Structure 1
Amino acid sequence: MTTDRKQIFDQIKKLMEKYEPPFIARSDFDSRYELWSEKEIEIDGRKRKEVYFAGLIIQSNYVGFYFMPVYTDSSLKNVFEPELLSTLKGKSCFHIKKLDKKLLSQIKKSLETGFKLYKKRGWI
Protein backbone atom coordinates (compact mmCIF):
# COMPACT_ATOMS: atom_id res chain seq x y z
CA MET A 1 0.00 0.00 0.00
CA THR A 2 1.30 3.42 -0.89
CA THR A 3 0.47 6.76 0.69
CA ASP A 4 2.92 8.79 -1.43
CA ARG A 5 0.71 11.16 -3.43
CA LYS A 6 3.01 11.24 -6.48
CA GLN A 7 3.09 7.42 -6.64
CA ILE A 8 -0.71 7.27 -6.29
CA PHE A 9 -1.08 9.86 -9.06
CA ASP A 10 1.33 8.01 -11.37
CA GLN A 11 -0.35 4.63 -10.88
CA ILE A 12 -3.85 5.95 -11.60
CA LYS A 13 -2.56 8.05 -14.50
CA LYS A 14 -1.11 4.90 -16.07
CA LEU A 15 -4.61 3.36 -16.06
CA MET A 16 -6.13 6.51 -17.57
CA GLU A 17 -3.54 6.83 -20.34
CA LYS A 18 -4.91 3.64 -21.92
CA TYR A 19 -7.91 5.71 -23.05
CA GLU A 20 -5.77 8.21 -24.91
CA PRO A 21 -6.89 8.16 -27.72
CA PRO A 22 -9.82 8.40 -28.24
CA PHE A 23 -9.74 10.86 -25.34
CA ILE A 24 -7.43 13.87 -25.46
CA ALA A 25 -5.20 14.78 -22.50
CA ARG A 26 -5.92 18.48 -22.05
CA SER A 27 -3.82 18.78 -18.92
CA ASP A 28 -0.79 16.54 -18.65
CA PHE A 29 1.42 17.81 -15.86
CA ASP A 30 3.23 16.29 -12.87
CA SER A 31 0.29 17.05 -10.59
CA ARG A 32 -2.72 17.36 -12.95
CA TYR A 33 -4.08 15.14 -15.71
CA GLU A 34 -7.44 15.43 -17.51
CA LEU A 35 -9.08 13.40 -20.27
CA TRP A 36 -11.65 14.97 -22.58
CA SER A 37 -13.63 13.85 -25.59
CA GLU A 38 -13.48 16.57 -28.23
CA LYS A 39 -16.38 15.29 -30.29
CA GLU A 40 -19.38 17.52 -31.04
CA ILE A 41 -22.32 15.96 -29.26
CA GLU A 42 -25.71 16.83 -27.84
CA ILE A 43 -26.58 16.23 -24.19
CA ASP A 44 -30.12 16.97 -23.00
CA GLY A 45 -30.77 19.11 -26.05
CA ARG A 46 -27.61 21.20 -25.58
CA LYS A 47 -24.83 21.09 -28.15
CA ARG A 48 -21.35 20.65 -26.77
CA LYS A 49 -17.96 20.62 -28.43
CA GLU A 50 -16.45 18.47 -25.70
CA VAL A 51 -17.20 16.33 -22.69
CA TYR A 52 -15.02 15.71 -19.64
CA PHE A 53 -14.27 12.08 -18.82
CA ALA A 54 -11.88 11.88 -15.88
CA GLY A 55 -9.07 13.72 -14.17
CA LEU A 56 -6.44 13.60 -11.45
CA ILE A 57 -4.97 16.32 -9.30
CA ILE A 58 -2.53 16.15 -6.42
CA GLN A 59 -3.95 18.06 -3.44
CA SER A 60 -2.30 18.80 -0.09
CA ASN A 61 -3.20 15.47 1.56
CA TYR A 62 -4.82 13.33 -1.14
CA VAL A 63 -5.04 12.70 -4.87
CA GLY A 64 -8.34 13.83 -6.34
CA PHE A 65 -9.75 11.38 -8.89
CA TYR A 66 -12.58 13.07 -10.79
CA PHE A 67 -14.89 10.67 -12.61
CA MET A 68 -17.51 12.45 -14.70
CA PRO A 69 -19.49 9.45 -16.04
CA VAL A 70 -21.19 9.26 -12.64
CA TYR A 71 -22.76 12.69 -13.37
CA THR A 72 -24.35 11.39 -16.55
CA ASP A 73 -25.62 8.15 -15.06
CA SER A 74 -26.05 8.08 -11.29
CA SER A 75 -26.64 4.31 -11.37
CA LEU A 76 -22.88 3.97 -11.94
CA LYS A 77 -22.47 4.43 -8.19
CA ASN A 78 -23.87 0.91 -7.92
CA VAL A 79 -20.76 -0.50 -9.65
CA PHE A 80 -18.38 1.07 -7.14
CA GLU A 81 -17.20 -1.38 -4.55
CA PRO A 82 -17.18 -0.33 -0.87
CA GLU A 83 -13.45 0.53 -0.75
CA LEU A 84 -13.72 2.99 -3.65
CA LEU A 85 -17.12 4.29 -2.58
CA SER A 86 -15.70 5.14 0.86
CA THR A 87 -13.33 7.66 -0.82
CA LEU A 88 -16.16 9.46 -2.68
CA LYS A 89 -16.58 13.07 -1.54
CA GLY A 90 -19.46 14.81 -3.24
CA LYS A 91 -20.85 13.47 -6.49
CA SER A 92 -17.82 12.65 -8.63
CA CYS A 93 -14.59 13.30 -6.71
CA PHE A 94 -12.74 10.54 -4.95
CA HIS A 95 -10.12 11.49 -2.35
CA ILE A 96 -7.43 8.84 -2.64
CA LYS A 97 -5.09 8.91 0.38
CA LYS A 98 -3.91 5.29 0.26
CA LEU A 99 -3.68 3.04 -2.76
CA ASP A 100 -3.45 -0.73 -2.78
CA LYS A 101 -4.01 -3.32 -5.52
CA LYS A 102 -7.67 -3.76 -4.63
CA LEU A 103 -8.48 -0.04 -4.85
CA LEU A 104 -6.43 0.34 -8.04
CA SER A 105 -8.39 -2.56 -9.55
CA GLN A 106 -11.67 -0.86 -8.62
CA ILE A 107 -10.55 2.40 -10.27
CA LYS A 108 -9.59 0.42 -13.38
CA LYS A 109 -13.04 -1.20 -13.47
CA SER A 110 -14.73 2.20 -13.06
CA LEU A 111 -12.75 3.65 -15.98
CA GLU A 112 -13.72 0.66 -18.15
CA THR A 113 -17.40 1.04 -17.22
CA GLY A 114 -17.35 4.81 -17.86
CA PHE A 115 -15.61 4.32 -21.19
CA LYS A 116 -18.27 1.82 -22.30
CA LEU A 117 -21.03 4.25 -21.26
CA TYR A 118 -19.50 7.15 -23.23
CA LYS A 119 -18.98 4.86 -26.24
CA LYS A 120 -22.57 3.57 -26.07
CA ARG A 121 -23.87 7.15 -26.02
CA GLY A 122 -21.69 8.10 -28.99
CA TRP A 123 -19.66 10.61 -27.00
CA ILE A 124 -16.30 9.26 -28.23
Structure 2
Amino acid sequence: MKTDYIEIFQTIRAELQPYAALGFTNRTNSESEYDLWSEKNIKEDNVIERFFASIKIEEDHVCFRYSTITGDDQLQERITKLDDVSKMKIDDILSATYKTFKETEWV
Protein backbone atom coordinates (compact mmCIF):
# COMPACT_ATOMS: atom_id res chain seq x y z
CA MET A 1 0.00 0.00 0.00
CA LYS A 2 1.32 3.42 -0.97
CA THR A 3 0.86 6.36 1.39
CA ASP A 4 3.43 8.81 0.03
CA TYR A 5 1.56 11.42 -2.03
CA ILE A 6 4.34 11.74 -4.60
CA GLU A 7 4.39 7.99 -5.12
CA ILE A 8 0.58 7.87 -5.38
CA PHE A 9 0.64 10.73 -7.89
CA GLN A 10 3.34 9.08 -10.02
CA THR A 11 1.50 5.74 -10.03
CA ILE A 12 -1.79 7.26 -11.18
CA ARG A 13 -0.06 9.55 -13.70
CA ALA A 14 1.52 6.42 -15.21
CA GLU A 15 -2.01 5.03 -15.65
CA LEU A 16 -3.16 8.25 -17.36
CA GLN A 17 -0.20 8.75 -19.71
CA PRO A 18 -1.09 6.03 -22.25
CA TYR A 19 -4.38 7.82 -22.93
CA ALA A 20 -2.42 10.76 -24.37
CA ALA A 21 -1.56 8.50 -27.32
CA LEU A 22 -5.27 7.72 -27.82
CA GLY A 23 -6.29 11.23 -28.80
CA PHE A 24 -6.17 13.27 -25.60
CA THR A 25 -4.14 16.42 -25.10
CA ASN A 26 -2.01 16.93 -22.04
CA ARG A 27 -2.17 20.54 -20.89
CA THR A 28 -0.47 20.32 -17.52
CA ASN A 29 2.41 17.98 -16.83
CA SER A 30 4.37 18.90 -13.73
CA GLU A 31 5.71 17.10 -10.68
CA SER A 32 2.40 17.71 -8.89
CA GLU A 33 -0.29 17.92 -11.58
CA TYR A 34 -1.23 16.12 -14.79
CA ASP A 35 -4.37 16.37 -16.89
CA LEU A 36 -5.90 15.16 -20.16
CA TRP A 37 -8.46 16.82 -22.44
CA SER A 38 -10.19 15.94 -25.67
CA GLU A 39 -10.01 18.83 -28.11
CA LYS A 40 -12.19 17.26 -30.75
CA ASN A 41 -14.73 19.77 -32.04
CA ILE A 42 -18.18 18.36 -31.39
CA LYS A 43 -20.36 20.45 -33.64
CA GLU A 44 -23.76 19.30 -32.44
CA ASP A 45 -22.90 20.35 -28.88
CA ASN A 46 -20.79 23.41 -29.82
CA VAL A 47 -18.09 21.92 -27.61
CA ILE A 48 -14.47 22.45 -28.57
CA GLU A 49 -12.93 20.65 -25.61
CA ARG A 50 -13.94 18.04 -23.05
CA PHE A 51 -12.20 17.18 -19.79
CA PHE A 52 -11.13 13.53 -19.40
CA ALA A 53 -9.13 13.16 -16.18
CA SER A 54 -6.49 14.72 -13.94
CA ILE A 55 -4.35 14.02 -10.92
CA LYS A 56 -2.99 16.63 -8.52
CA ILE A 57 -1.10 16.58 -5.24
CA GLU A 58 -2.93 18.65 -2.65
CA GLU A 59 -1.83 19.52 0.88
CA ASP A 60 -3.43 16.53 2.62
CA HIS A 61 -4.34 14.16 -0.23
CA VAL A 62 -4.00 13.41 -3.92
CA CYS A 63 -7.00 14.53 -5.97
CA PHE A 64 -8.05 12.30 -8.87
CA ARG A 65 -10.71 14.02 -11.00
CA TYR A 66 -12.44 12.42 -13.93
CA SER A 67 -15.28 13.02 -16.33
CA THR A 68 -18.53 11.23 -15.70
CA ILE A 69 -19.71 8.74 -18.28
CA THR A 70 -22.11 11.39 -19.62
CA GLY A 71 -19.20 13.79 -20.04
CA ASP A 72 -21.20 16.63 -18.49
CA ASP A 73 -19.87 16.53 -14.95
CA GLN A 74 -16.72 15.72 -13.06
CA LEU A 75 -16.24 13.52 -10.05
CA GLN A 76 -13.26 13.40 -7.76
CA GLU A 77 -11.61 11.01 -5.38
CA ARG A 78 -9.53 12.15 -2.40
CA ILE A 79 -6.72 9.62 -2.17
CA THR A 80 -4.54 9.27 0.91
CA LYS A 81 -3.65 5.59 0.41
CA LEU A 82 -3.32 3.59 -2.78
CA ASP A 83 -3.63 -0.17 -2.68
CA ASP A 84 -4.27 -2.70 -5.45
CA VAL A 85 -8.07 -2.42 -5.09
CA SER A 86 -7.99 1.39 -5.35
CA LYS A 87 -5.68 1.22 -8.35
CA MET A 88 -7.98 -1.27 -10.09
CA LYS A 89 -10.95 1.05 -9.40
CA ILE A 90 -9.08 3.93 -11.06
CA ASP A 91 -8.17 1.72 -14.02
CA ASP A 92 -11.83 0.70 -14.38
CA ILE A 93 -12.99 4.33 -14.22
CA LEU A 94 -10.50 5.38 -16.90
CA SER A 95 -11.36 2.44 -19.13
CA ALA A 96 -15.13 3.00 -18.89
CA THR A 97 -14.78 6.74 -19.44
CA TYR A 98 -12.51 6.22 -22.44
CA LYS A 99 -14.97 3.72 -23.92
CA THR A 100 -17.76 6.29 -23.63
CA PHE A 101 -15.60 9.03 -25.16
CA LYS A 102 -14.73 6.73 -28.06
CA GLU A 103 -18.32 5.53 -28.65
CA THR A 104 -19.67 9.08 -28.65
CA GLU A 105 -16.80 10.26 -30.88
CA TRP A 106 -15.46 12.73 -28.33
CA VAL A 107 -11.97 11.47 -29.04
TM-score (norm 2): 0.91
Match of 1:27 in 2: 28
Contact 2:20 2:26 in 1 (8 A): yes
Pairwise CA distance, 1:108? 0.5
Aligned-residue CA RMSD in angstroms? Answer: 1.7
Three-state SS of the structure 2 residue aligned to 1:7 is helix
Pairwise CA distance, 1:102? 1.2
Three-state SS of the structure 1 residue aligned to 2:100 is helix
Percentage of matched positions with identical amino acids: 31
Matches within 5 A, 1:73-92: 92=75
Give yes or no for the alignment of 1:100 onto 2:83: yes
Aligned length: 106
Contact 2:5 2:57 in 1 (8 A): yes
**CA 1:6–1:95: 2 relative to 1, 3 Å:** same
Partner Cα distance (1:26, 1:98) in 2:
26
Match of 1:15 in 2: 15
Name structure 2 gaps, 5 residues minimum.
none
Contact 1:26 1:33 in 2 (8 A): yes
Deviation beyond 2 Å, 4+ runs, structure 1: 69-74
What letter matches 1:31 in structure 2? S
Match of 2:60 in 1: 61
